[in-house]
Amino acid sequence: MRIVAVAAILTFSLAGQAMGQSSPSPSGEATAVTRSEIRELIEAAQATAKASRENVDYARVVPDLLYQILTKLDKIEDKLDRVDTTLKASQSSAGRKR
């Protein structure tokens, strides 16, 4: 959420500087251009906010998924160790019987 706020502040501050540097134009045209630019900036800020939310959600989900995968791999490894131990025990007992 902080990233979104920082992005919005940065966008509006840069837009303010750009508007201050632009050459003066007729009054009717200046308000229409300014409003359209503000709309574009708002849309860009909204797109940035959406991307930031998706990034945060992804950052939250990935470690959880990795943890679940590693847990399942540990369980599989334990089962394979048990099978290996059982096979070795059965082979050693079969070797003794001969």
- Domain span holding position 65: 2-97
Q: What is the pLDDT of residues 14-37, one digit of tens each?
A: 776 666 665 555 555 555 568 889
> What is the total count of domains within the chain?
1
Q: List CB contacts of 93: < 8 A, sequence separation 6 or more.
A: none
Q: List CB contacts of 7: < 8 A, sequence separation 6 or more.
A: 45, 48, 49, 52
Overall pTM > 0.85: no
DSSP for 19-77? HHHSPP--HHHHHHHHHHHHHHHHHHHHHHHHHHHHHHHHHHHHHHHHHHHHHHHHHHH
Q: Pick 82 or 11 by higher pLDDT.
A: 82
Q: What is the pLDDT of residues 47-94, one digit of tens each?
A: 999 999 998 888 887 788 888 999 999 999 999 999 999 999 888 887
